[in-house]
């Protein structure tokens, strides 16, 4: 176990930063939070890819500190280091359900986050005005203006990378509303977290994206308030769960999964699953675009190599299940549309 606090460097406008900050708070792991790019993180070890958040593990025995990126793998490393208050369920069937919903949050719900932020003018201006100031809170307006212009031009130019365009915009917005309704129904059924009476990695992945969609960007905030104001309150609670007490009996049981979990899986199956499969096929064939049908509408975007890896990791985890566990998992997924994710 680390003897010194970890360092987590990210930004308030980064869903993955908020995801990991909420994880280490809930898990009561000693840490220091820094804004990436601010004066406090200049001495941190370098990372191979300039992504956030960066999680820095203190070196042991004179070894240098080690920095890593990618929230999914950061969570798994913390699971191995700290045995208390873990966020991966111990039951392998429930754990894979948790991983699938986590992946949906990280890789599909982020399409909604990016789309809303950089598609509508009110959201563009809001983000452009605030995002650069986190790294330069004392900077005069004249100094912030060119940073704002640069961020807006860069991010609007990247809309196509995540799949937001004239063809897909309505599908993205439709999927966000469907997700809100499904999560709201689950919470309203008496389950305060996706994974039952204690949060799993999936809770924190969904929360990360929702910190922007439900709390920051004006257009999706209005959508969230219209569809499910409960979720705005939920996000504000998930921000810091360090005070709650949990036990092993608080996880969902594979033998008593609520129907509302199938409702969430149905959203994953309708929107994310067909994209994952079509994206992998495009990558394998060398196609220039992913061209498929999602929720009865055309979906068109550039292939996304990282999401091809995500499909592979999910299928690897499925292959590692025992025969009995695989059968139980298949039973849960039956009829949700998620089955195609695991049809290797």
154 CA to centre of own chain: 22
Last residue within a domain, chosen from 21, 51, 81 = 81
Number of other residues whose CB lies within 10 A of the CB of residue 57: 19
Residue 230 lies in a domain: yes
Residue 134 lies in a domain: yes
Residue 215 lies in a domain: yes
Residue 87 lies in a domain: no
The count of domains in the chain is 2
User: Is the domain of 333 the same as that of 184?
Assistant: yes
Residue 58 is part of a domain; what is its CATH number?
3.40.30.10
User: Is the domain of 166 the same as that of 287?
Assistant: yes
The Cα 129–Cα 152 span in angstroms is 10
Q: What is the mean pLDDT of each run of 10 residues along the chain (344 residues)?
A: 81 97 98 88 86 93 90 97 97 98 98 98 98 93 96 96 96 98 98 98 98 98 98 98 98 97 98 98 98 98 97 98 98 98 89
User: Is the domain of 17 the same as that of 149?
Assistant: no
User: Is the domain of 330 the same as that of 286?
Assistant: yes
User: Is the domain of 75 the same as that of 224?
Assistant: no
Number of other residues whose CB lies within 10 A of the CB of residue 262: 18
User: Is the domain of 66 the same as that of 165?
Assistant: no
Write down the pLDDT at residue 42. Answer: 75
User: Is the domain of 173 the same as that of 34?
Assistant: no
User: Is the domain of 52 the same as that of 201?
Assistant: no
User: Is the domain of 174 the same as that of 222?
Assistant: yes
Last residue within a domain, chosen from 25, 58, 81 = 81
User: Is the domain of 97 the same as that of 69?
Assistant: no
Residue 86 lies in a domain: no
User: Is the domain of 21 the same as that of 109?
Assistant: no
CB neighbour burial string for 315-325, b if at least 16 within 10 angstroms, e if fewer: bebbeebeeeb
Last residue within a domain, chosen from 81, 103, 122 = 81
Contact present, 195 and 82 (Cβ < 8 Å)? no
- Ordered alpha helix ranges (H), the chain: 15-26, 71-81, 92-104, 110-119, 121-130, 141-157, 159-162, 169-188, 201-213, 218-227, 229-238, 259-267, 273-285, 305-319, 323-333
Residue 38 lies in a domain: yes
Residue with the two structure tokens 């092993």: 248
Residue 125 lies in a domain: yes
Domain that holds residue 26: 6-81
Write down the pLDDT at residue 3. Answer: 65
pTM exceeding the 0.85 threshold for the entire prediction: yes
User: Is the domain of 211 the same as that of 321?
Assistant: yes
Residue 253 lies in a domain: yes
Contact present, 315 and 342 (Cβ < 8 Å)? yes
């Amino acid at each position: 176990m680390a003897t010194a606090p970890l360092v987590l460097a990210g930004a308030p406008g980064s869903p993955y930063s908020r995801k990991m900050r909420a994880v280490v708070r809930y898990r009561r792991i000693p840490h220091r939070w820094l804004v990436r790019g601010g004066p406090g993180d200049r001495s941190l070890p370098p990372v191979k890819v300039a992504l956030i958040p960066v999680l820095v593990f203190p070196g042991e025995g004179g070894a240098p500190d080690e920095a890593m990126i990618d929230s999914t793998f950061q969570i798994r490393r913390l699971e191995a280091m700290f045995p208390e208050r873990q966020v991966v369920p111990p039951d392998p069937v429930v754990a894979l359900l948790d991983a699938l919903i986590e992946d949906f949050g990280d890789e599909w719900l982020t399409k909604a986050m990016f789309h809303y932020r950089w598609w509508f003018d009110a959201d563009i201006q809001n983000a452009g005005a605030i995002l650069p100031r986190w790294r330069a809170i004392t900077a005069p307006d004249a100094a912030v203006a060119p940073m704002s212009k640069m961020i807006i031009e860069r991010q609007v130019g990247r809309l196509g990378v995540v799949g937001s365009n004239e063809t897909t915009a309505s599908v993205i917005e439709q999927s966000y509303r469907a997700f809100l309704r499904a999560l709201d129904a689950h919470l309203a059924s008496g389950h305060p977290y996706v994974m039952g009476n204690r949060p799993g990695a999936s809770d924190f992945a969904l929360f990360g994206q929702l910190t922007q969609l439900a709390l920051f960007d004006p257009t999706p905030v209005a959508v969230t308030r219209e569809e499910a104001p409960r979720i705005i309150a939920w996000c504000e609670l998930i921000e810091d769960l360090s005070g709650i007490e949990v036990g092993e009996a608080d996880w969902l049981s594979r033998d008593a999964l609520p129907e509302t979990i199938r409702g969430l899986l149905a959203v994953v199956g309708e929107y994310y699953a067909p994209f994952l499969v079509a994206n992998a096929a495009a990558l394998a064939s060398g196609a220039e675009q992913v061209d498929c049908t999602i929720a009865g509408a055309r979906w068109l975007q550039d292939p996304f190599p990282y999401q091809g890896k995500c499909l592979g990791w999910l299928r690897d985890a499925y292959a590692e299940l025992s025969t009995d566990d695989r059968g139980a998992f298949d039973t849960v997924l039956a009829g949700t549309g998620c089955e195609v994710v695991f049809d290797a």
